[in-house]
Structure 1
Amino acid sequence: MSREASPADAALDSLGVLGEGTRRQIFAFVRRARRPVTREEAAADAGISRKLAAFHLDKLVDAGLLRARYASPTGLRKVGRQPKVYEPAGGAIQVSIPDRRHELLAGLLLQAVLTEGDNETAATAAMRTAGQHGRELGGQDRARLRPGRLGAERGLTLCEHMLDQHGFEPAREAPDRLRLRNCPFHPLAARAPDLVCGMNHAFLAGYLQGLQATAVQAILAPRSGECCVQLQHAQPQDPPKAG
């Protein structure tokens, strides 16, 4: 399976583009302008040629920091193509090392508050929304990957990819066991371990259900400095005893 860049990797790549001083100055100018900016305007502000400004602007577009388009036609320009203009891409860049996903936790808690049933507590509603989100994500991955019947090894491999994308830093501690070296919800998990770890467990268990990876199970296995959940080959169920 090809390895896609994680959101954290993409954010670091974007910040790396801003390491060049002139490029950083141009990016700040475009953000301050609060309107589409032409190459000529960026060049004038930075004190460089139009060609060099175009190079830096296009690098910022490639990094996802700016977006480019051609200006809307006006009555002032009768001949030729409209000038290319640049404006902020709109998304925020967030980098945390190690990776933190507090926005995911906040979203699940908000959904729990908005959908809490009459017979639910806040905690059970939070577990429900976390499990539901996991099942939806697992179902999407199954539809996209079409993995067929999943054995334990293949199931762990697919889970490893998702966990890496979500900042869990998965590591094969043993052939049949996947430890999660990072807790994306720290330090909130340390403040409310029953709630946050329970939601995390519900989310990962739900993901396995949506992926239909029945040969893999998520269990609570707290360890200092790591995620409270680990994934492992599912243990065979004992057959019911004869009455």
Structure 2
Amino acid sequence: MGLDHASLTALAALGDATRCRMFEFVRQARRPVTREEVADSLGISRKLAAFHLDKLVAAGLFQARYESPAGIRRVGRRPKVYEPVAEAIAVNIPERRYGMLADVLTEAVLTEAEGESARNAALRVAFQRGETLGNAERERLRPGRLGAERGLSLAAETLEEFGFEPERAAPTLLRLRNCPFHPLAAQAPELVCGVNQAFLAGYLRGLGSDKTTAVLAPRPGSCCVELRGEGATGGIQGTDPVCER
């Protein structure tokens, strides 16, 4: 499928290294940011930051408005703040892994056993793939006995490479800020979220992190699964029997 004009414009804007760094900084801030904050983070002048930020607004990647930072009283004009639009761009920003999902579903169709539903076959394959990845990591790193915190640290390193954008919300809680399969998850949430959970549960099993669990915990704008170690708040919910093999 070809890219539309809006997507091409957005990609062109991100072809500049400075703008690409700005895009990542503002998106990861998870709140509106000022020109000064962006300038400080990149080590450039406020004037140059304003120039590039407004280019990203024109490309449809950011939206801007004048707003005082929360909890701060200012005299005079309110500063201009920037934040990503709800769906900034639909071509690999953030990274998508449709091929991985397609591989799981294809193998599920080819290996579906008699009496096994298509969904359960997909969960089985996803779990096995995650377990294979975890086994490989354990063999490479030989981490020994894994507590929850060490297991989450290793998971964060690996899942970053898969586009999940892990965020350590607490010592025993790893949230995933990006779904590599969005927007397919919105079209078939039960299947896609189940595949995500099964893959991550299999990875934890293969890694040997038996103190950590992949939990269904949908949050707006994030992956539907988070990894919780013993002691994490919120309880364990939505665990699929396939992921408990």
* TM-score bracket for this pair, using the shorter chain length: 0.5 to 0.7
Deviation for aligned residue 1:235: 5.2
Determine the C-alpha separation between the residues in 2 that align with 1:120 and 1:235.
35
**CA distance change for structure 1 residues 117 and 156 in 2, over 3 Å: closer, same or farther?**
same
Query: Is 1:131 aligned to residue 141 of structure 2?
Result: no
Secondary structure of the equivalent of 1:161?
helix
CA contact (8 A) 2:172 2:231 kept: no
Q: Give the Å deviation of 1:176.
A: 1.5
Q: Does 1:152 find its partner at 2:148? A: yes
Matching residue of 1:120 = 116
Residue 173 of structure 1: how far off its partner (Å): 1.1
How far the C-alpha of 1:216 sits from its partner, in A, is 1.0
Report the equivalent of 1:167. Answer: 163
After superposition, give the CA deviation of every residue in 1:46-96 in whole Å (9 maximum; x if it has no partner).
xxxxxxxxxxxxxxxxxxxxxxxxxxxxxxxxxxxxxxxxxxxxxxxxx71
| CA deviation vs aligned residue, 1:138-159 (integer Å, no higher than 9, x gap) | 0000000000000111101000
Classify the secondary structure of the residue corresponding to 1:224: coil
Matching of residues 40-79 of structure 1 within 5 Å: none
Total equivalences in the alignment: 146
The whole-number CA distance in structure 2 between the counterparts of 1:123 and 1:149 is 33
TM-score, L = length of structure 1: 0.58
Matched letter for residue 169 of structure 1: E
Could you tell me which residue of structure 1 aligns to residue 213 of structure 2?
217
2:100 equivalent to 1:104: yes
Shift of 1:122: 0.5
Q: Deviations over 1:190-225 (max 9, x none)?
A: 000000000100000000000010111110000011
- Paired with 2:108 and 2:200, the residues of 1 have a C-alpha distance of 17
Take 2:172 and 2:204, find their aligned partners in 1: how far apart are those partners? 15
Per the alignment, residue 143 of structure 1 pairs with 139
The answer to whether the Cα contact below 8 Å between 1:134 and 1:204 also exists between their aligned partners in 2 is yes
Aligned partner letter, 2:111 = T
Give me the whole-angstrom Cα distance separating, in 2, the residues matched to 1:159 and 1:130: 16
Aligned to 1:177: 173
Q: Which residue of 2 aligns with 1:196?
A: 192
**What is the TM-score when the length of structure 2 is the normalising length?**
0.57
- Which secondary structure state, in structure 2, belongs to the residue aligned with residue 156 of structure 1? helix
Alpha-carbon separation, structure 2, partners of 1:214 and 1:154: 11
Q: Is the 8 A contact 2:172 2:230 kept in 1?
A: no
Question: In the aligned structure 2, how far is the partner of 1:125 from the partner of 1:235?
Answer: 32
On the 8 A contact 1:160/1:170 being kept in 2, the answer is yes
Identity of aligned residues (%): 58
After superposition, what is the alpha-carbon deviation per residue over 1:149-192, rounded to whole angstroms, capped at 9, x for unaligned? 00111101000011101000000111221110000000000000
Q: CA deviation at 1:234?
A: 3.0
Distance 1:207 1:158 in 2: 11
The one-letter code sitting in structure 1 at the alignment partner of 2:165 is E
Counterpart of 1:230 in structure 2 is 226
- In the TM superposition, residue 232 of structure 1 has moved relative to its aligned partner by 1.3
Amino acid at match of 2:210: T
In 1, Cα distance between equivalents of 2:135 and 2:171: 25
**Hey, what's the Cα distance between the residues in 2 that align with 1:235 and 1:132?**
27
Gaps of 5+ in 1: 1-14, 18-94, 238-243
